[in-house]
Amino acid sequence: MSIGFRVLKQQRKVAAEWVERYRSVPVANISDSMHRMTAGGASLQPMHRTGVLVGPALTVKARPGDNLMLHHALDIAEPGDVIVVDAGGDLSNALIGEMMVAYAIKKGVAGIVINGAIRDAASIGAGDFPVFAAGITHRGPYKDGPGEVNVPIALAGMVIEPGDLVIGDEDGLLCVPFEQVGEVYDRAYAKHAAEQKQLEQIALGENDRSWVLKSLVQKGCEFI
């Protein structure tokens, strides 16, 4: 086995029904439901105009500045996949640009995450195809390899395995492990519903703020 330069077969992926359910749940509520212990890092920002990123991960581990394996991932991607690339966070060379995004859209890919840089930022920024990246540079990539496809990767300590659910919005990026999509969804949906109710109470001037003083007292705050 050529570890470091290989393409594995994806063994499982989250079902389309979960993708659609998660589409309407804010990433912040999902994060709260996972005890705020998981995140793709603050450097990963949405580069597109608007739109939620959600779908099963097709993972790529790339050598910084090189997009050969990303090209292959695009070729084998299925409609609805989110291509997630661990390129070490290096910003020296862009791994995707307008041409690759156009190809991804044509194939029905749900979005692309690059722990690295992009270029053609104006074109990508004017569109609704979800692209998350750590930065922008005009310098293009190399195409030499090595790299791996469909292997576990990590973005700022957040482990992503092939087929896990990846979701991103204006607040950032998050991965929900394959085995936990049902449990996390139930908690996140309940959290979202509770916050919507709280917003209604705020609008009516009926929200209960007594918890603030109770918390201060319990924690030993001194009032002088």
119 is in an annotated binding site: yes
Residue 120, marked binder: yes
Task: Give SS3 for 159.
Answer: strand
Domains and CATH numbers, the chain: 6-188 (3.50.30.40)
Q: List, in order, residues 6 or more apart from 14 with CB less than 8 Å away.
A: 56, 163, 164, 165, 176, 178, 181
CA–CA distance, 119 with 140 (Å, rounded to integer): 8
Q: Given CA atoms 57, 61, 62, 67 in this order, what sign does their dihedral have?
A: negative
pLDDT score recorded for residue 1: 63
144 a known binding residue? no
Alpha carbon distance 2, 66 (integer Å):
18
pLDDT (0 to 100) of residue 55: 98
Determine the pLDDT at residue 2: 84
Cα separation of 135 and 128, whole Å? 18
Q: Nearest CA to 74 among 106, 49, 46? A: 106
Nearest to 141 by CA among 87, 220, 213: 87
The CA radius of gyration of the chain, in Å to the nearest whole number, is: 20
Q: Which residue carries 């195809």 as its tokens?
A: 129
Query: What is the Cα 162 distance to its own chain's centre?
Result: 13
- CA–CA dist 24, 19 (Å, integer): 10
Instruction: Give mean pLDDT in consecutive 10-residue pieces for the chain, a chain of 224 residues.
Output: 90 97 97 94 96 97 97 98 97 98 98 98 97 98 97 96 98 97 97 95 94 97 95
pLDDT at 139: 98
Q: How far apart are CA 94 and CA 110, in angstroms?
A: 20
Q: Is the Cβ–Cβ distance between 149 and 69 less than 8 Å?
A: yes
Sign of the Cα torsion 83, 89, 91, 92 reads negative
**Is 97 marked within a binding site?**
yes
- DSSP 8-state class, residue 111: E
Sign of CA dihedral 165, 121, 108, 142: negative
Q: Give the pLDDT confidence score for residue 75 in this predicted structure.
A: 98
The owner of tokens 């139930």 is 186
Measured CA to CA, the distance from residue 162 to residue 3 in angstroms comes to 17
Alpha-carbon span 190 to 41, nearest angstrom = 25
Q: Is the peptide bond before 162 cis (omega within 30 degrees of 0)?
A: no
| Residue 98, marked binder | yes
